[in-house]
Structure 1
Amino acid sequence: MKSSSTTVLFDELGPKGKARLKVATIVAVVVVLGALAGIYFQLDHVGQLSSRLWSPLWEWPNIRYLLDGLGMTLRIGLSCAAMSLVFGTVFGLGRLSPRRWLAVPAAAAIELFRAIPLILLVYFFLIGLPTFGWSLPPFWVLSIPIVLHAGSVFAEIVRAGVNSLDRGQFDAAAAIGLRRGQALRLVILPQVFRALRPALVTQVIRTLKESSLGYVVSYPELLRNGQVLGEYNANFVQAYAVTAAIYIVINFGLSRIAELLDRPPRVRRRSRIAEPAPATPAATVGTLS
């Protein structure tokens, strides 16, 4: 007997609804293919598909230049992801603290850095700090705003993860003599981080995208190197297209990792223990006789 699956958000489509959905899908595919064909013919008309503009991008010095930028993007992206994890955990737990002198400043900092656009934070560290006599290397001028912005978002994720756990987790930890800090460190946070593995990968993708603001501070990340390469070879469209393709491949791979982590673990099939076959009536009669 097959189990019927029920939908929660909407009723199952009837024959007319399925027909309309199929027609809408065909129309959408035709429109997208038509748009792509129009872009292709327009680029070909203005000469942007000429091999003269694309061939420099396949030369090894230019490829190595883009790979250097990719390495810097991964460096700042992974570094900012790790630092935003620490920042978000500390401030998220601080906002959950029963002590108001700790919870109120943590909540204010989280809301402040979430509300300010990231580009304004970057310009503050780039232009504002030097007016006070503080000058930072480009890496920190870019990474600190990213950590403050992404970490404040992650703080809310941590807070929501802790609040989603059953209150009995805290009561059970208190019953065995653990203080609140010990309960958070030994019982609560391991469960929260296990459930937030897809969110961690999403944060890495977020910081990789936000690192593209490196062109503002002249940090040699992937987009900045693609911009320089386009200026040098006078092929901006081609350089940006290759750069975008690299971003798409990396982010798609990380998104697939997040999807795999979000899936429930597969139930491993236990090897069946060989059991002796039950004796047939004929065999039983033969034995008794």
Structure 2
Amino acid sequence: MKQFIDLQLIRDSFSFVISGLPYTLGISFASFLLGLILGFFLALMRLSGKKWLTLPSTIYISLMRGVPMIVVLFVLYFGLPYYGIQLPALLCALIGFSLVSSAYISEIFRSAISAVDKGQWEAATALGLPKAKTIRYVILPQAMRIAIPPLGNVIIDMVKSSSLVAMITVPDIFQNAKIVGGSKWDYMSMYILVALIYWVLTILLEQGQALLERRLRLG
């Protein structure tokens, strides 16, 4: 009878599977940083009160939040070649995750900025601060304290969702686990291994998020 988990296979293949970790973390964190930048400007567009800015940003956010990530990746990697645009799988992953994450991040920024007491805006205006400096020096520091917990959830979700890049041949940890599972006819052992790796990564990110929240509270 075949054993449920092959521990020897897990030990022998661990180094190969974990070799995909730079792709998993690289895609997740690089896309998160790009999403932060784009999401911040999308949030400002939503809050501008100008229809020519709020309308396109609202449509973009709705679209990116409404389309599954796997569809975005397939459009970039398999769809664009029909129009003569061939992008590397890694670039498709970075673009796809950045675009989708920016939509969620923008809503986090928007709600965090809106949560800052209106008296802060009024006080800054009374002191003669221009709007750009008011946002940078008065509103953003307070909004970031509010935004850190949901932003932490976004990066954790991105690390887990990065497993989807295996569908477009990026050699992340999940893709490497699939390769071993297929060659050894033991997907169960490999999927359990990769699940444990993602779990450990999530725990580390949660600890980092908690540490950052404590520092912000003390600061």
TM-score calculated relative to the size of structure 2:
0.92
- The CA deviation at 1:234 is 2.1
Kindly report which structure 2 residues correspond to 1:168-183, keeping only aligned pairs within 5 A, or say none: 168-183=119-134
Residues 1:57 and 2:57 aligned together? no
Structure (1 or 2) with the greater helix fraction? 2
Q: Which amino acid counterpart does residue 169 of structure 1 have in structure 2?
A: Q
Tell me the alpha carbon deviations over residues 140-196 of structure 1, each in whole angstroms, 9 at most, x when there is no partner. Answer: 211212112121011111000011111111111111212222211221112211332
Give me the whole-angstrom Cα distance separating, in 2, the residues matched to 1:249 and 1:229.
21
Aligned length in residues: 218
Task: Name which of 67, 73, 77 aligns with 2:24.
Answer: 73
Alignment match, 1:93: 44
Larger gyration radius, structure 1 or structure 2: 1
Kindly report which structure 2 residues correspond to 1:1-289, keeping only aligned pairs within 5 A, or say none: 46-49=1-4, 53-59=6-12, 62-262=13-213
Secondary structure of the equivalent of 1:55?
helix
Higher relative contact order (CA 8 A, sep 6+): 2
Q: Which amino acid counterpart does residue 144 of structure 1 have in structure 2?
A: I
- The CA deviation at 1:224 is 0.6
- The CA deviation at 1:263 is 5.3
Give me the whole-angstrom Cα distance separating, in 1, the residues matched to 2:134 and 2:79.
42
Cα distance change of structure 1 residues 202 and 219 upon mapping to structure 2, 3 Å threshold: same
Secondary structure of the equivalent of 1:135?
coil
Cα distance change of structure 1 residues 181 and 199 upon mapping to structure 2, 3 Å threshold: same
Secondary structure of the equivalent of 2:108?
helix
- The CA deviation at 1:208 is 0.6
Identity of aligned residues (%): 30
The answer as to whether partners of 1:198 and 1:261 remain within 8 angstroms in 2 is no
Q: Which amino acid counterpart does residue 2 of structure 2 have in structure 1?
A: G
| RMSD (Å) for aligned C-alpha atoms | 1.9
Give me the whole-angstrom Cα distance separating, in 1, the residues matched to 2:146 and 2:217.
16
Q: Which amino acid counterpart does residue 3 of structure 2 have in structure 1?
A: Q
Give me the whole-angstrom Cα distance separating, in 2, the residues matched to 1:168 and 1:185.
16
Give me the whole-angstrom Cα distance separating, in 2, the residues matched to 1:233 and 1:77.
29
Q: Which amino acid counterpart does residue 180 of structure 2 have in structure 1?
A: L
The answer as to whether partners of 1:212 and 1:221 remain within 8 angstroms in 2 is yes
